[in-house]
Chains A and B, each alone.
Chain A
């Protein structure tokens, strides 16, 4: 049994009422830990894509995938952990800052390629997009500022296609 790590599962599910309840119920019932879950429309009308970050050993997550497959409304499940994939998360962080502190926070935000999306007399809202680790690192760096509120979307992921040999045919 391997150690616990976070796995990224991407599931295509029918866009029916209750499908989120079914998935959530399955995770609770079988004791799988959801680190994050993001749902939205997919490229195909009538189907949604869920990106689920699951904590567990490789065996546990394999069992989790099989159980997900048993749900009639789940069309496919891919484990993108370790596979070539792009994963992103969006975070919005409201930070309490005095006027004099604004340039400092703006500078760090800039280094992390984030954006200041709102400024008030006493706070700024930073929008940060990227891999989860980047957002975590940003939060570690700004610990000197009092953070008022954090809202994170959870990761979404999409597999990269094989680039193929340089002189090969174009990918489909």
Chain B
């Protein structure tokens, strides 16, 4: 998914002039993009495509999910874990509309997924045919680009453009809607050797003059701080980030998607900032005199109230998307470019500087505001302990996929991620139900990695049908359910901001261990601390998917917290 691989070449495997069906064209394009696993569910309009997949099953593994939303989230996990493009497919109408949430999720989180949807046959388009929906009309505002392919001769070009667009520049979802009869027709066309889109020329190296100016501003700063975002991972710039930080003795905080782009046990790492970021990460944002934003869009959950965020600080912002620069913060040094290439130009200009007073100040906050201390809880297991236990038992080597809500924050906080692509979560759109299907995609991206899905009880139920996929496909994902019998974040907000008027927050759950067993999975439930540790150790060793229904404290809150609408000056810390 590197932004620097330029114009992609098409790798059509067919000899020129050999007629191929539309379905075969799509399969060849997937192979050319290096895609070996796709996620989907067939339907009437996509049956011809499935007939092509039948003949490609030795080269492309099709994972039959149990709801199309899971296809999109699994493809997202696969894309993020591999750096390749993910592929999700469905039939027309309801199949395609079930993937709409996934497209919206991908565009918010800059994840390259190609969506192949069947459409009713061309003569039926516009006639309100069975399972017809205007899905390209629906997907316009939530995709990077979309196509309705009305001529099979266009399909080879469209497919190579789709993979190119999904994976280059700022990655994102691309939707290709293909009528049933276009899948069936044959073409002798092949894709052009190079994608040629006049309106699409992503930047490569940042402007040299601006890079020099950035170096001047950074070198002159007494209290600089690097804010590391998802762009570091996408561009593969973790090494350059490490060099920048160590050469300049510059502390690093990360956004939610930046977690792991800088080794979290490094002395210069000050963890995640933002609404549930660490207190010391947030304190440093009000004292800094130079914010170096790398591959971040200064999201509202990270920044809070803008005028308390680095007041008076110079802002250096490097991002590949020009529309993100100056969108939230006034920027002193705007640089549009690929991070890896741009940081390589910046690094030689960065002076090695002693910034001990600033680091001492930040370490003082770290000492006095230990945001990650887990309080004693004699009567219940705390959810943070579960995350910590997974960290300990996996030796910090597990890939962790978090759902949305409290579980997501605890999973980001209580595990120290040393590399990019170790922590996955749906940050921008925040769709509950993401974790289980995304974990399937992450696991199939590299089966040698341990994969833990950390989810709440609420989010699990949204896509719990995927227990069936785990069992049927033997996908070795460990599921830890932080079961507090609540929509926990809702309960927390109602406690904090609605004077405890709990409405729609309590969940009357089934026995998830039994549910797992009914799906043919190994399911264990417990509320005891010792058994929780034993169960995690067992799951770690067990050769196959496991579901752990861990009954944790029902009213534990996520700390620290910045009250929405306020800034880093108003951090609520754990009172215990």
* Contacting residue for B323 out of A29, A66, A73, CB 8 A: A66
Contact across chains for A72 and B323 when beta carbons are under 8 A apart: no
CA distance A75 to B197 in the complex (A): 9
Tell me the complex Cα distance, A73–B165, Å: 12
Whether A14 is near chain B, meaning CB under 8 Å from some CB there, is: yes
B321 contacts the other chain (CB 8 A): yes
Contact of A21 among B137, B197, B321 (CB under 8 A): B137
Residues of chain A in range 1-51 having any CB-CB distance to chain B below 8 Å: 13-14, 17-18, 21-22, 25-26, 29
B148, B197, B322, B327: which contacts A72 (Cβ < 8 A)?
Answer: B197
Q: Are B323 and A70 in contact (CB under 8 A)?
A: yes
Contact B199 A75 (CB under 8 A): yes
- A70 to B327 Cα, complex, angstroms: 14
The smallest C-beta distance from A72 to any residue of chain B, in angstroms, reads 5
Contact: B137 with A73, CB < 8 Å?
no
| B145 at interface, CB cutoff 8 A | yes
- Determine how close the nearest CB of chain A comes to the CB of B514; give it in whole angstroms: 45
Query: Which residues of chain B are within 8 angstroms of A73 by Cβ–Cβ distance?
Result: 199
A22-B140, A29-B141 known; A66+B197 contact, CB < 8 A: no
Asked if A153 is an interface residue, CB under 8 A from chain B, the answer is: no
Q: Do residues B141 and A26 form an inter-chain contact, with CB atoms below 8 A?
A: yes
Contact between chains at B200 and A72 (CB < 8 Å)? yes
CA distance A29 to B165 in the complex (A): 22
For residue B17, CB closer than 8 A to chain A, the reply is: no
A69 to B324 CA separation, bound complex (whole angstroms): 12
A21 → chain B, closest Cβ, in Å? 6
B136 on the interface (CB 8 Å rule)? Answer: yes
Assess whether B140 is in contact with A25, with CB atoms less than 8 Å apart: yes
| Inter-subunit contact B137/A69 (CB<8 Å) | no
- B322 close to A18 (CB less than 8 A): no
Chain B residues within 8 Å of A26, by CB: 141
Q: Which residues of B contact A25 (CB under 8 A)?
A: 140-141
Contacts of B145 in A (CB 8 A): 72
- Interface pair A63/B144, CB less than 8 Å apart: no
How distant is the Cα of A67 from the Cα of B141 in the complex, in angstroms? 12
Residue B576 lies at the interface, judged by CB distance under 8 Å to chain A: no
Q: Does chain A have a CB within 8 A of B373?
A: no
Whether the pair A71, B137 counts as a contact (CB closer than 8 A) is no
Within 8 A of A (CB), among B325-353: 326-327
Contacts of A22 in B (CB 8 A): 140
Please name all residues of chain A whose beta carbon is closer than 8 Å to the beta carbon of B137 when the two chains form the complex.
Answer: 21
A67 to B323, CA, bound (A): 6
Q: Is the CB of A21 within 8 A of B140?
A: yes
Q: How many A residues touch the partner, as a band? A: 20 to 34
Closest B residue to A71 by beta carbon equals B199
**A151 to B140 CA separation, bound complex (whole angstroms):** 30
Q: Do A63 and B140 form a contact, CB below 8 Å, given A70-B321, A72-B145, A75-B198? A: no
Chain A contacts for B321, CB-based, 8 A: 70
- Within A47-83, the residues touching B (CB, 8 Å) are 59, 62-63, 66-67, 69-75
Identity of the chain A residue whose Cβ is nearest the Cβ of B322 in the assembled complex: A66
Which single residue of chain A is at the shortest CB-CB distance from B199? A75
B residues within 8 A CB of A72?
A: 144-145, 165, 197, 199-200
A14 to B137, CA, bound (A): 18
Is there an interface contact between A69 and B322, defined as CB atoms closer than 8 Å? Answer: yes
Please report the C-alpha to C-alpha distance between residue A108 and residue B63 in the assembled complex, in whole angstroms. 74
The docked-state distance in angstroms from the alpha carbon of A26 to that of B197 is 20
Within 8 A of A (CB), among B120-160: 136-137, 140-141, 144-145, 148
CA distance A44 to B343 in the complex (A): 39
The residue of chain A having its C-beta at the shortest distance from the C-beta of B137 within the complex is A21
Q: Is the CB of B199 within 8 A of A18?
A: no
Query: A126 CA to B141 CA in the complex, in Å?
Result: 40
**Chain B residues within an 8 Å CB radius of A17:** 148
CB distance from B148 to the nearest CB of A (A): 8
Q: Is there contact, CB below 8 Å, between A69 and B323?
A: yes
Closest to A68 in B: B323
Chain B residues lying within 8 Å of A18, measured Cβ to Cβ, are: 136, 140, 148
Closest to A47 in B: B198
Among B141, B199, B200, B326, the one with the most A-chain Cβ atoms within 10 Å of its Cβ is: B199
Smallest CB separation, A2 vs chain B (Å): 14
- In the assembled complex, the Cα of A23 lies from the Cα of B141 at a distance in Å of 10
B252 to chain A, nearest CB (A): 28
Q: Is the CB of A14 within 8 A of B199?
A: yes
Docked CA distance A66–B326 (Å): 11
CA distance A73 to B145 in the complex (A): 9
Closest B residue to A17 by beta carbon equals B148
B199 lies within 8 A of A74 (CB): yes
| Cα separation A21 to B323 with both chains bound (whole Å) | 20
Instruction: List A contacts of B200 (CB < 8 A).
Output: 72
Kindly supply a per-residue 1/0 record for chain B positions 247-280, scoring 1 wherever the CB is within 8 Å of any chain A CB and 0 otherwise.
0000000000000000000000000000000000
Contact A63 B199, beta carbon cutoff 8 Å: no
Q: In the assembly, what is the distance between CA of A29 and CA of B323, in Å? A: 15
Q: Is the CB of B141 within 8 A of A63?
A: no
Please, which residue of chain A has its CB at the minimum distance from the CB of B321? Answer: A70
Q: What is the distance, in angstroms, from A41's C-beta to the closest C-beta of chain B?
A: 17
A73 to B136, CA, bound (A): 15
**Smallest beta-carbon distance B358→chain A, Å:** 32
Taking CB as reference atom, which chain A residue is nearest B161? A72
Query: Within the assembled complex, what's the spacing in Å between the Cα atoms of A18 and B116?
Result: 19
Residues of B near A74 (CB, < 8 A) are 199
In whole angstroms, what is the CA distance A9 to B199 when docked?
16
Q: Can you name the residue of chain A whose Cβ is closest to the Cβ of B330?
A: A59
A73 to B144 Cα, complex, angstroms: 11
The 5 A-B pairs with the shortest beta carbon distances in the complex, nearest first, are A66-B323, A75-B199, A72-B145, A29-B141, A75-B198
22 contacts between A and B (CB under 8 A): A14-B199, A17-B148, A18-B148, A21-B140, A22-B140, A25-B140, A29-B141, A62-B326, A63-B323, A63-B327, A66-B322, A66-B323, A67-B323, A69-B199, A69-B323, A70-B323, A71-B199, A72-B145, A72-B165, A72-B197, A72-B199, A72-B200
- A: residues with CB less than 8 A from B are 13-14, 17-18, 21-22, 25-26, 29, 59, 62-63, 66-67, 69-75
Q: Give the interface of B toward A (CB within 8 A).
A: 136-137, 140-141, 144-145, 148, 165, 197-200, 321-323, 326-327
* Contacts A18-B148, A59-B326 known; 19 new A-B pairs at CB < 8 A: A14-B198, A18-B136, A18-B140, A21-B140, A25-B140, A26-B141, A62-B326, A63-B323, A63-B326, A63-B327, A66-B322, A69-B322, A69-B323, A70-B323, A71-B199, A72-B199, A72-B200, A74-B199, A75-B198
